[in-house]
Amino acid sequence: MIGQASLNTNSFKSILLISLLGSLITAGAYVLAIYLRLDPSDGAYQIGFHRLLLDPFVITIALTVAIPIGLIASPLLYFFLRYKNLRVAYPAIQLLTIAAMFIVPASSPNQNKFVIIGGCATMLIAALVFWVVPVARLNGQKER
C-alpha cells in the first residue's frame, strides 16, 4: 500500500511553471545588470530600463535564451525540489540566481556568456543544497 508521505510531492507541472517564471525573472535581472553597467554615452542607456526591456530585439533575445533554459532546468529542479516546500525553496533559489546576475559581471565585465553560465550553475547548486539539507521539507516528510 502507498503511504501518505509518498503522495506528498510537488507536481512536475508546478515546477515547470516555476522554472519558466524563474527563467523570465532572471532574464529581466540579466538585462538590468547589463543596463546598470552601460556607459552613459551608450544609446541604450539614454532610453531607460523600461523601454530597453520592452525593445523587440532585447525581448526576443531574452525569450530565446530564457525559455529553453527554463525547459531544460525543469526536470532537474523537479528531481531536487519535488519533496520541498516551494514557498521556501523557490524564492531562495531565485534570489541567489539573481544575485549571480549582478556578481558575475563584476568579476568579468566583458564576458556576458559567463553571466548566463554562472546563473545556471547558481540555480543548480542552490537546488542541490536544498535537496540535501532538510530545510523546506513538505509537511509530513521524514528525513531520508
pLDDT above 90 (res 72): yes
Q: Which residue has the cell 539539507?
A: 133
Question: Mean pLDDT across the stretch 24-31?
Answer: 90
Q: How far apart are CA 36 and CA 23, in angstroms?
A: 20
Domain ranges, ordered by start, for the chain: 11-132
Q: What pLDDT does 115 receive?
A: 80
β-bridge partners, 137: 84
Nearest by Cα to 106 from 45, 40, 53, 34: 34
Question: Would you place residue 106 in the very low, low, confident or very high pLDDT band (cuts 50, 70, 90)?
Answer: low
Share of the chain above pLDDT 90, in %: 40
Q: What pLDDT does 143 receive?
A: 46
